[in-house]
Structure 1
Amino acid sequence: MDVWDAEKAAARLEDSGRYKVLRKLVPRPIISRGESRFPRLALLVDTETTGLQHARDEVIEIGAIAFTYDDDGRIGDVVDVYGGLQQPSAPIPAEITRLTGITDDMVAGQALEMAKLDALIEPADLVLAHNAAFDRPFCEKLTPSFIPKAWACSVKEINWAELGFEGNKLGYLVGQSGLFHDGHRATDDCHALLEVLAGSQGDAGRTPFAQLLQASAAQRVRIFAQNSPFDMKDHLKNRGYRWSDGSDGRPKAWWIEVDEDLYDAELRYLRTEIYRWEDADPLTLRLSAHDRFRMG
């Protein structure tokens, strides 16, 4: 009797050109930090929360994977994993339960092990998240250990389309990487994103993580078009400026964030097209990975 070989069967289906086969994601084994030959340490985090507003909503789950890497963007080994639930101060909204699968019964009496989480954070050279602008404020509220860290965002700082992906949602990325997983739980999503980041993509064969690492190391400039003429708002919006109403600590103004080498061109645009005053000097903030994606 022939022995069933699932991988050979999958390969035959793929070779036919009529099928695409997804393989179930298997988390990497955990080894000790001292066993890994890769010199750097990163922490990949994901949070599930009671809502979108960090000022009033709460973390109900966090997942974190500590992994090693080198300066060329090669991912090494998983050296620690943490996942935990936490009971919020009010019942979880029904929509959040529908999206995450987390119920009030699951979090009843649960609390995060902050000492263990802090122990993962403190030695990390880099913290990354898939939408760091969402996760970083929640994480910084959770523990001050996150505050001084350099952060990277795998949504904003990787050109997924250039790498052949159809979108930047995690489900698209995982599926197009030939994998499937149990989504919407924090630790599961961390394992999935790690494999996507480690995959070789594009003509140069660079990993998405290598692109992320390079982008996070670059300085960016945030420009606030304060007191810009009201009738210029559509021009600013069409150019990619976003409106800040001042409620998050930022100035009340249209703003944009650009690479350092694009700053002069952006300043020239504001002076000639918006303010029409050659000495206009809009508020400018230079941001490193330590500053980006944080509250305010």
Structure 2
Amino acid sequence: MTGRRRGAPSAFEPEAAARLLEAHGDYQVLRRLVPRVTAPSRPLMLGERVAVIVDTETTGLDHKHDEVIELGMVAFIHDATGTVLDVIDTFSALQEPSRAIGPEITRLTGITDAMVEGQCIDIDAVETFIEVADLVIAHNAAFDRPFCERLTRGFDPKPWGCSVKEVDWATHGFEGSKLGYLVGQSGLFHQGHRAVDDCHALLEVLAQTRPEQELTMLGHLLVRSEATRVRIWAEGAPYDLKDQLKRRGYRWDGGGDGRPRAWWVEVDEALAEAEIAYLEGEIYMRRVRPRAQRITACERYKAL
């Protein structure tokens, strides 16, 4: 009978093999992202807050005409520095839209008409879930917030944070801001483009601290989301200066719902007067007092 060689491992140990590969300069290892276990309910301690990460899958890009076909949410407790403490709840639901799901949407999300047939998101459950949230976070909040607010007005008064716009990923050593890039460069991989899976993935990316930094990525987001900004409208700006405005970061709004038809930009509150001075000196060539709107996290990322 042939016996096992002395000293040979009794079983394959994946983590030991991963560490061996990581020690070799020719390899990088990605580990499967394992969602955090939901912790038992507990009262908040001093300085702790609740945030909810939200992700939607939709039938298209236009919140006025397209519909949510999947909603995922992860609620968690964090402290003032952005340290993630406990996941306290998760939510995942599909919804049948009023028309067939396009093949491109199915290719991107994996969601088919058969999967959503007869499914409906429980709005009362959604409102209960987000009621305790001090902040709602989305990876591209300008997309998700309008769709969420169409589902329920419960999202409307909440402060929102955006993990695309409010974290300077490049400064922190990342090569892009797409969630897949962030997950991969964090040494992880996951099943992307399903709503709740993307919420778990974003939580792990935000929970990490980069080398030689004190704040987590979530901590950086909290600092930016709490800042007040000012939206300035360059109404009646000369048409031949539109390219100059675009280079400075201005965007065009076609007007409607009380908004002017004009170029606009959003700047930190401390920079608002300097931006108005720029418009006076470089665009209008005269003293002006343009329309300016203070924007907090409660108004930010609402549909224009």
Normalising by structure 2, we get a TM-score of: 0.94
2:150 aligned partner: 141
Q: Does 1:282 align with 2:285?
A: no
Work out which of the residue numbers 29, 54, 58 in structure 1 matches 2:63. 54
2:5 aligned partner: none
**2:69·2:97 contact (CA, 8 Å) conserved in 1?**
yes
Q: Does 1:155 align with 2:164?
A: yes
Work out the percentage of aligned pairs sharing the same amino acid. Answer: 56
2:185 aligned partner: 176
Note the alpha carbon deviations across 1:162-199, whole angstroms, 9 max, x for none.
Answer: 11000000000000000000000000000000000001
**1:24·1:179 contact (CA, 8 Å) conserved in 2?**
yes
1:29 aligned partner: 37
1:10 aligned partner: 18
Work out which of the residue numbers 216, 229, 246 in structure 1 matches 2:238. 229
> CA 1:122/1:171 → structure 2, altered by over 3 Å: closer, same or farther?
same
1:254 aligned partner: 263
* Structure 1 gaps, min length 5: none
**1:74-223 mapped onto 2 (5 Å cutoff):** 74-223=83-232
Note the alpha carbon deviations across 1:30-71, whole angstroms, 9 max, x for none.
Answer: 012307757210110000000100111100000000000111
Q: Distance in 2 between matches of 1:292 and 1:50?
A: 24
Q: Does 1:266 align with 2:268?
A: no
* Letter of the structure 1 residue corresponding to residue 281 of structure 2: T
* Superposed displacement of residue 264, structure 1: 1.6
**1:162·1:202 contact (CA, 8 Å) conserved in 2?**
no
Q: Does 1:243 align with 2:252?
A: yes
**1:164·1:202 contact (CA, 8 Å) conserved in 2?**
no
Q: Secondary structure at the match of 1:183?
A: coil
Mean Cα deviation higher: 16-25 or 34-43? 34-43
RMSD of aligned alpha carbons: 1.3
Q: Which has the larger radius of gyration?
A: 2
List 4+ stretches of structure 1 deviating above 6 A: none
Q: Secondary structure at the match of 1:34?
A: coil
* Structure 2 gaps, min length 5: 1-7
Count of residues paired in the alignment: 295
Q: Distance in 2 between matches of 1:103 and 1:251?
A: 40
* Letter of the structure 2 residue corresponding to residue 226 of structure 1: E
* Superposed displacement of residue 4, structure 1: 1.8
* Letter of the structure 1 residue corresponding to residue 35 of structure 2: P
Mean Cα deviation higher: 34-43 or 139-148? 34-43
Mean Cα deviation higher: 243-252 or 108-117? 243-252
* Superposed displacement of residue 149, structure 1: 0.3
**1:132·1:152 contact (CA, 8 Å) conserved in 2?**
yes
